Structure formats: C-alpha cells, structure tokens
Structure 1
Amino acid sequence: MLTKDNFDPAELAKFSDLAYRWWDKESEFRPLHEINPLRLEWIDGLAPLKGLRVLDVGCGGGILADSMARMGAEVLGIDLASKALKVAQLHALEAQTEGVTYREISAEALAAEQPGSFDVVTCMEMLEHVPDPSSIVQACASLVKPRGHVFFSTINRNTKSFLFAIVGAEYMLNMLPRGTHEYAKLIKPSELACYCRNTGLDFVQSKGMQYNPLTRHYWLNADTHVNYLLATRKA
C-alpha cells in the first residue's frame, strides 16, 4: 500500500489554485454545491448520519463534510491540498458548524494510524484524481468499522462519459475548468467493484447521476454510464 506518494502534484496544484473559490456557488465548484444535496440524502438514507463518526476522504473545501456535520455526525475531513483545507476550516468557523474538523493527511497514513475507527467513510469525486485508486479503496476499507458503510462517487470510462463529462462539461458548457478530468484516470464501475471486493467491502447499491444543462437540474437513477455512486459495507 502506498503511504506517501499516492497523489499527483499537478492535481493538488490545480485545486489549490482554486481554493479561495470553494464556497462561491457560482464558481467552478458550482456543480459540487448543486449535487451535494443529492449525495447527502443518498448517504443519510443508507446510513443515518446523526451520532455517527464519519470520515470524508478528499474533502477539499469541506462542502460534503460540513453538510454531514450539520446532519448531526462527528466528521473528520482529510485532504492533501493545504489551501483547500484552510478554506474548509475558515468556513466552519464563519458558519459556526459544530462537529467537523479537518486534517492534512493521506487516507493511507490515517488508516495506519486509526484502523477501524469510523462508522461511515465517504470518498466522493476523488478517486479519478489519484495515481492508485485501489490504494485509496484499501485505506477506506481499513478505516471503517466492521458493518460500517463506505461510499464512493466517481466517473465511468467510456465514450459517453468522455463526451459528457469532459467534452461537454469542460469544453462546451464550461461547467468545470478545462483539464479537470483526464480520460485515462476515469474508473469503470466493474473496476471499482473489484477494488472493493478485494478489500472486504460488500456491494450495497449503485446509482447514476444525471444532469439537464437547460434546467441545471441533477437527479439520481440507474444509469451509471457517466457519473455514478457506489455504496458498500464492510463484512
């Protein structure tokens, strides 16, 4: 398992340069703000968050971590982008969000330090940005308690996802900065499911996330060809 080097310096720099815009809902992070209620409702529906100890891996500026804390969870958000973490910490102070803390540490290092410590682990829109996603999945499996839930979301790798998530979102609709995603780093559901099985995480549910650019409306359904979410549970 990688403990120190499972990150791409260019990816960290990319998100660090935009750190001050994380909580601007009309910025490059608008899509994350718009899909966050969907993610939050889906997670809470499968693992009611109130009173649980939750880890958000790759938390960035804290959009999901903050909202899970507001649902009554005790949340730790981790990331290796220090500027984004500072923005997350500042937002928590300004918004007076209780129950959320942030730490600059890799998932692998935290897994070695605190195995089996969390009721729920989330890793959303992060796996497609690291050199070895299987190492992150292994760390998430190590960090969650037995019978605890691990939630992932990422982007499929196929022609449709290339056209919609990269060409459409980045170059035609300008929803995301160009270069946000690299096609070769996208992950097929079968690949992610294999990583999970190899680490003792059992499949619970998968969902696709759809978007209508005219109405700016997102919804979940069974179509996992582009953006998808995967819920698992530790045996």
Structure 2
Amino acid sequence: LHDINPLRVRFIADRCSLRGQNIIDVGCGGGILSESLAFLGARVTGIDPAKGPLVTAKLHSIEAGVEQRIEYIHGTAEELVDDKRETFAVVTALEILEHVSDYNQVIQSLADLCKPGGNVFISTINRTWQAYLMAIFGAEYVLGLLPRGTHDYQKLLRPSEIATAMRSAGLVVKEIAGYTYNPFTRYSFHCESVYVNFLMHAYKPT
C-alpha cells in the first residue's frame, strides 16, 4: 500500500479540491491515505473496523504532526451513516470492497456519507484470470508480497458490478482508470487495462 499510495493520492487530488474539505477514508487501516490527504490540507475522518491498525494510525499521525487534521474512528461506514449523513465532500474506499460481504451495502453507505456535489473514489481488483494470476497467485504465493489468503477470488469485483451498485446508490460514474504495480521497482503507474487493478471516480448529483 505504501508503494501505490502516491498514485492513489494523485488520482484523487487531480479530480477534486482537497484543501479545507471534509473527507472520510473508509477502511483507513494504518492511515496511509488519511495522512497524505491531511498533508494536502483536508480535514480527514478515518474509519476502520479493526482496532489494531487504528492505534498505529493515531500514533503515526502524531509523529507526522497532522493529528489535529485527522480523527480516527473504530467502526464501519454503515454504522456512521446516521450521525454523518451527507457530511463529506470526498469519500474514499480504497482496497476494501474485495474484502466485504455485501459490497452493495457498503457503496450505498459511501453515497449516504457523501454531500450532494461531492466525490466518491474506489479502488479494487478486477475478477479476471489476469487478476488471479498477478494479484493472488503471483503476489501471495510466488513473491510473498501479501499473506496467503489475503484475497478471495470470488469476492473480487468487476467494474461493471461496481458501476451498477453506484448507480443504484444514486451516484454517477465519471471515470474508470487502470493501474499496475511493478514489484521489482516498487513503482505503480496508470495503464489502459483495467483487467487487474483499477480506480473509479463517481460524484453525487446535487
């Protein structure tokens, strides 16, 4: 995640204003993205169902000097909707949809948290044989970049499935962009293919 974070941050920052905006990072984990967005002037809420990474995230935000710009919450987006409905100008959910049991419900929660006129960003792994070879077999079993069993192929999602869920949630898809990662140079870059990794940008109409 550290290696692909610069690409993800650029994708978001190039498509919407961040300075002074309220942003929620759903599935924030250890706060890699949350901190980057805070450094760009955003007010960030990071939420995650796992307590361990949040402890790390809070400590690191203090060391980085951005703790005043980030609030970390233990929980899920679905649990936060009642208190924070239509609060955030930008909603991010990066590398989490492939791990949830009901992606439609999560996407609806992302839409509910987003202000009218706001932006939603998602990144995940496609459900293709190319993705299986590279993101699961290659990354987990050959190169050992991730623990074995990190990803369940059946939970991977195609762009069309996410786009359908977004439309049902009242969002409008603006862009789908592929990217790839070179584990030897540890560099990630955009590419035309969405067969493995991809990012999606949607907005909530006013």
**Would you say same fold, with TM above 0.5?**
yes
The amino acid of 1:73's aligned partner reads A
Describe the SS at the equivalent of 1:179.
coil
Please report how far the alpha carbon of residue 48 of structure 1 lies from its aligned counterpart in structure 2 after TM superposition: 2.0
The amino acid of 2:42's aligned partner reads A
Q: Does 1:209 align with 2:179?
A: yes
Describe the SS at the equivalent of 1:34.
coil
Alpha carbons 1:128, 1:187 under 8 Å: kept: yes
The 5 Å alignment of 1:165-180 reads 165-180=135-150
Alpha carbons 2:4, 2:181 under 8 Å: kept: no
| Equivalence for 1:146 | 116
Q: Does 1:69 align with 2:11?
A: no
Q: Does 1:225 align with 2:192?
A: no
Please report how far the alpha carbon of residue 106 of structure 1 lies from its aligned counterpart in structure 2 after TM superposition: 1.1
CA distance in 2, matches of 1:92, 1:211: 26
Please report how far the alpha carbon of residue 104 of structure 1 lies from its aligned counterpart in structure 2 after TM superposition: 0.6
CA distance in 1, matches of 2:186, 2:3: 9
Alpha carbons 1:69, 1:75 under 8 Å: kept: yes
| Equivalence for 1:119 | 89
Q: Does 1:82 align with 2:54?
A: no
Please report how far the alpha carbon of residue 75 of structure 1 lies from its aligned counterpart in structure 2 after TM superposition: 0.1
CA distance in 1, matches of 2:200, 2:40: 21
Describe the SS at the equivalent of 1:121.
strand
Q: Unaligned stretches of 5+ in structure 2? A: none
Of residues 198, 203, 211 in structure 1, which corresponds to 2:168?
198
The amino acid of 2:200's aligned partner reads L
Please report how far the alpha carbon of residue 91 of structure 1 lies from its aligned counterpart in structure 2 after TM superposition: 0.7
Runs of 4+ displaced beyond 6 Å: none
Provide Cα deviations, 1:100-132, integer angstroms capped at 9, x if missing partner.
110012101111221100000000000111100
Q: Unaligned stretches of 5+ in structure 1? A: 1-31
Please report how far the alpha carbon of residue 229 of structure 1 lies from its aligned counterpart in structure 2 after TM superposition: 0.4
The amino acid of 2:184's aligned partner reads L
| Equivalence for 1:188 | 158
The amino acid of 2:175's aligned partner reads Q
Identity %: 47
CA distance in 1, matches of 2:116, 2:61: 30
Please report how far the alpha carbon of residue 95 of structure 1 lies from its aligned counterpart in structure 2 after TM superposition: 1.6
- Calculate the TM-score normalised by the size of structure 1: 0.85
Please report how far the alpha carbon of residue 212 of structure 1 lies from its aligned counterpart in structure 2 after TM superposition: 2.4
| Equivalence for 1:27 | none
